[in-house]
Structure 1
Amino acid sequence: MSERVNVAILGASGYTGAELVRLLARHPRVTLAALTANRKAGQAFASVFPHLGGLNLPVLSTIEAVDWSAIDFVFCALPHGTTQTIIGDLLTGPHGGRLRIADLSADFRLADPMVYQTWYGHAHEAVELQKEAVYGLTEINRAAIATARLVAVPGCYPTSAQLPLIPLLRAGLIDPDAIIIDAKSGASGAGRDAKEGSLHCEVSEGIHAYGVGTHRHGPEIEQGLSLAAGRPVAVTFTPHLMPMNRGILSTIYLRATAGNDATTLRQALSAAYADEVFVRVVPEGVSPHTRHVRGSNFVLIGVHADRVPGRVIVTCVEDNLVKGASGQAIQDMNVMLGFPETLGLDQQPLFP
C-alpha cells in the first residue's frame, strides 16, 4: 500500500476540479503532481480556492506545460467539446501507453457518436477512442471499469436516475414505458463560470424547471436504461434548479409489473446493493434528504407506495459534486488501479 501514483487534474479551477483536489488530498495512494487551468496559469491554487490553502499543491499551469512522463493518471474536468482532442492526443502520444484517464465531461458518455452530434451540436472528434471508452457508473459497470484506460464518468442526473432504475429494469419489476423522472439540483451543477441564470438573484427564493424536454442528460439516462431493459426505453425527464449549493433529488414515478409493488421493489433494490458501500436503500417510510449526503459519496434510495395501486414512487439523493462527479471519478480510479474502492472517499456527510 506504499506505492503512490502521480495524478494530473485538467480543469482544476472549476467546482469539480476543486472537489477532486479536496478528496484526493487525503487519498493515501495519490500525489497531486499537476493542476491545470489555462486562464489562471501561474497562480497558486490557494488564490483560486482559499479553503484548500493549507495543502501543499503545485502551481496552476497550462496543459502544455505538464510533464506527462511523470503522470500516471489523469482526471479531465474540462467543458464538453474540448476534451475529445486533448484526450486523443494524450492516449496516442509518447506516454499514452501508461496513462489511465477518467473524463468528467460528457464527451465520451454516449456510445453512439451520432447521438452525441445530435445533442451536443458538433461531430465527435475521437470516434475510434469512443469505441473503447467505458461508462463509469461504478456499481453497475465495475468489471469493465477495472480494465479500462478511458472511463467516461456519468453525469450527475444520470447517476441519480440509473442507480435506482437499472436493477428494477433488469429484474422486470417495472414497466419500461412508464418512467417519469422529476429531478432537482443545486446551483453548482451549472459550473463555476459566470452565467446570468446562476446569479444569486436568479436562483434564490425560487425554483424553476429548465431544459424541459431537451436536456442532454435525457439520452444518457435512456442509454443506460435501454441496456438494462434489453430494449429501447424512453423516459420523461425534467430537471429543476433549486436555491441550494449542492445536491440532487430525483423523484421517479413508476408502474410496477403484475404481482409487484413497493415492497418487492424495495426488496430488489436492497438485494442489488446489499454489498455496496456507497449506495443504501433506506427503510420503509423514510424519505432521503439531500442534506443527508452532503459532501459525501453516498447515495440514498427510498421506495414509496403511491395511493394509486400498482404505482410506486422512488426517491434518490446524492451530492452532485461528489457521487455525481468527482467522487465517482475517484471511485472509478480506485477500481481502475486496483485500490480499495473507498480510498479517499470514506468521509461521512456534513450535517447540518
Structure 2
Amino acid sequence: MANRQRIGVLGASGYTGAELLRLLAGHSGVEIAFLTADRHAGKSMASVFPHLGSLKLPDLISISDVDWHAADVIFCALPHGTTQGVIKKLFEDAPEKRVIDLSADFRLNNLEIYEQWYGHAHQAPELQEEAVYGLTEVHRDTISRARLCANPGCYTTTAELPLIPLLAEGLIKNDEIIIDAKSGVSGAGRSENQSNLHTEVSEGTHAYGIGAHRHAPEIDQELSLAAREQITVGFTPHLMPMNRGILATIYVRLNREATVDDLRHCLASRYAEEAFVNVLAEGLAPSTRDVRGSNNCHIGVFVDRLPGRAILVSVTDNLVKGASGQAIQNMNVMCGLPETKGLEQVTLFP
C-alpha cells in the first residue's frame, strides 16, 4: 500500500467521476483517498452509483472539507468554469500535488481566445502558462514532467488523433477540413436538463452548437501546432440516441501527389507502437460499438468519390478515451507507471 498513488477525485458524482472509479478499481497502483460531490456530500458512492456498490470507497464529502495532503494525484471532474479557482487554491495549499483536469478550463493556451469562447476572463492565468495539453500520444514527453495536465475533450481527441500526423507530414491541405461528429448523450453530463430527457433524445438525432461549439478552438489550436500555421476547421457536433461513443467523419483534401494509401500508411506507422490507437485495414469502417468501455481509438481511411479528397472515420468511447480513460493514461505517464495500467479492458460487446 505504501507504494501506491493516493487518489482524490473532485466531482465524483458525475459520469466522468464514476468512470474514473470504475477504471481505477482495476489499477493495482492506486488507492482512493477522497471523493467530493457537493450536492451529494455525506452520501455513499453506492447510493449515487449503485453499479459501484461492490467497491470499498470513501463517502462523498464537500470540497471545503478536503485535506489536499491526503492525496498524491487529484483528478478534477468539475463543470467547466469552476475548476480554475479550485486548482489555484489547491496549488497554493499543496504545490507538490499532480492534477489532471477533465474540464476545459486549462485546454486553451491563448487567454483571449478562452475569454471569447467561455465568456469570462481566465481566473488562473499563471497556471495556464504551465498547463500541458493531455493528448497522450502527441504530448507524452511534456506530460511526464507536468504538474497540471489539461485532459482533452472527447470530440477533440477523436478528431485530433487522425488529423495531427497527416498535417505534420504535409499529406493533407490545411484548409477545407470538415469534421462531422456524433456523440452519445453521456457527453452532455448528468445534470438535470430537459434537452437530455429520454423523450427529447430517443428516436432522433440533431445537430447542436452549430458553428459555435467550444471544442472548435481546441481543435484549431492542436492542429495548428501540428501544421505549424494557423488552421480553422469546420466542426459540427450531433447528439445521438445512445449512451456512449463518439464517431467523427472527417473530410480532407489531399496535398500534392499524396494518395489515400499514403494517409493510411502514415497513420499506421505513427501509431504502430501505441497501445490504444488502432488504424484499421483498408475497407474496414470503425464503429462506436467496437470501442465501447475501452480506452481505444479506431481510425479508418477511405477514398472520397470527389477527386483529390479522402474521408477519415475515427471512433472513441467519450467517457473513456474521450475523458476518464485518457486521464488515467496521463496519470500513469506523470507518475512513471506503465501507461496501460488500469486500462486493459477489452471492449464490451454486444
Q: Does 1:323 align with 2:321?
A: yes
Q: Which residue in the other structure is 1:120 paired with?
A: 118
Supply the distance in 2 between the matched residues of 1:157 and 1:261 (Cα, whole angstroms): 26
Query: Which letter does structure 1 place at the counterpart of 2:131?
Result: A
| Aligned twin of 1:144 | 142
Give the distance between the partners of 1:45 and 1:198, measured in 2 at CA.
23
1:300 to 295, 298, 301: 298
Q: SS of the residue aligned with 2:21?
A: helix
Residue in 1 that maps onto 2:311: 313
How many residues align? The count is 350
Aligned to 2:174: 176
Shift of 1:65: 1.3
The one-letter code sitting in structure 2 at the alignment partner of 1:259 is E
Distance apart, 1:310 and its partner CA? 1.1
Q: How does 1:24-43 map to 2 (within 5 A)?
A: 24-43=24-43
1:68, 1:221 → 2: CA distance? Answer: 33
In the alignment, structure 1 segments of 5+ residues that lack a partner are none
Please say if 1:210 is aligned against 2:213: no
Corresponding residue of 2:256: 258
SS at match of 1:6: strand
Please show how residues 73-112 of structure 1 align to structure 2 within 5 Å.
73-93=73-93, 95-97=94-96, 99-112=97-110
Q: CA deviation at 1:16?
A: 0.1
In the aligned structure 2, how far is the partner of 1:59 from the partner of 1:237?
40
1:166-205, CA deviations, whole angstroms, 9 ceiling, x for partnerless residues?
A: 0000000000011000000000000000111101011100
Partner residue, 1:273: 271
- Residue 159 of structure 1: SS of its match in structure 2? helix
Is the CA contact (8 Å cut-off) linking 1:2 and 1:29 kept in structure 2? no
Q: How far is 1:92 from its partner?
A: 1.6
Q: How far apart are 1:227 and its partner, in Å?
A: 0.4
Q: Which moved more, 1:63-72 or 1:203-212?
A: 63-72
- Give the alignment's TM-score, normalised by structure 2: 0.99
Cα RMSD between the aligned structures?
A: 0.9
Provide Cα deviations, 1:202-252, integer angstroms capped at 9, x if missing partner: 110001100000000000000000000000001100000000000000000
- Deviations 1:83-117, CA, capped at 9 Å, x for gaps: 00100011121x222x0000000000000111111
Please report how far the alpha carbon of residue 309 of structure 1 lies from its aligned counterpart in structure 2 after TM superposition. Answer: 2.1
Question: C-alpha distance in 1, partners of 2:180/2:5?
Answer: 40
Partner of 2:327, secondary structure, is helix
How many Å separate the matches in 2 of 1:40 and 1:144? 36
Tell me if the contact between 1:304 and 1:313 (Cα under 8 Å) persists in the aligned partners: yes
Aligned counterpart for 1:287 among listed residues 260, 275, 285? 285
Q: Which residue of 1 aligns with 2:53?
A: 53
- Aligned partners of 1:338, 1:141: CA distance in 2, in Å? 15
Gaps of 5+ in 2: none
| TM-score, with structure 1 as normaliser | 0.98
Deviation readout 1:231-285 (Å, 9 max, x if unpaired): 0001100000000000000000000012112100000000000100000100000
1:110-149 superposed Cα distances (whole Å, 9 cap, x missing partner): 0011111100011100001000000000000000000000
How far did residue 26 of structure 1 move? 1.3
- Inter-partner Cα distance in structure 1 for 2:239 and 2:55: 33
Write out aligned runs for 1:227-238 (5 A): 227-238=225-236
Secondary structure of the 1:162 match is helix
TM-superposed CA distance for 1:19, in Å, is 0.1
Q: Which amino acid aligns with 1:7?
A: I
Structure 2 equivalent of residue 350 of structure 1 = 348
Q: Secondary structure at the match of 1:307?
A: coil
Q: Is 1:65 the counterpart of 2:68 in the alignment?
A: no
How far apart are 1:2 and its partner, in Å? 7.2
Aligned to 1:304, what secondary structure does the other structure show?
A: strand
Distance 1:41 1:287, change over 3 A: same
Deviation at 1:23, TM superposition (A): 0.4
**In structure 2, what residue type is equivalent to 1:82?**
T
SS of the residue 1:249 aligns to: strand
Q: Sequence identity of aligned pairs in percent?
A: 62
8 Å CA contact 1:25, 1:32 repeated in 2: no
Paired with 1:111 and 1:87, the residues of 2 have a C-alpha distance of 17
Cα distance in 2 between the residues matched to 1:15 and 1:261: 41
In structure 1, the residue matched to 2:12 is: 12
What is the SS of the residue equivalent to 2:61?
coil
